[in-house]
Amino acid sequence: MKQLISIKGMSCNHCVNHVKEALSSIEGVQKTDVDLHKKNAIIECVFEINEELIIRSIRDIGYKVIEIKSQWFLSEIGRITFRLSTLEIM
């Protein structure tokens, strides 16, 4: 299960490490990737993590969650991207 988390307030690599540490400490999170430029994080989980827990973990360290998207949404984006990349341009 993957979840994409849009985060407001990150401005440096220290912020990235702070967010990564907070998300990694949530029970069930196996992997965490935080992107400063995209202002988001992707977590890979054993099971779906309650959104309120994610929001609280981020809020407690001084940042704000803007949006959380589930694995289904992420897989649909991948399919759309693949379809667009395989279209022939005339």
Give the burial class of 1: count Cβ atoms within 10 A of its Cβ; 0-12 exposed, 13-18 middle, 19 or more buried.
middle
**Number of domains making up the chain:** 1
pLDDT for 48 equals 81
State which residues form the domain around 71: 2-86
Q: What is the CATH number of the domain that holds 21?
A: 3.30.70.100
In the predicted model, is pLDDT for residue 25 greater than 70? yes
pLDDT for 76 equals 53
In the predicted model, is pLDDT for residue 72 greater than 60? no
Calculate mean pLDDT across residues 64-75: 78
Please report which confidence band the pLDDT of residue 90 belongs to, taking 50, 70 and 90 as the band edges: very low
- Asked if 68 contacts 5 with a C-beta cutoff of 8 angstroms, the reply is yes
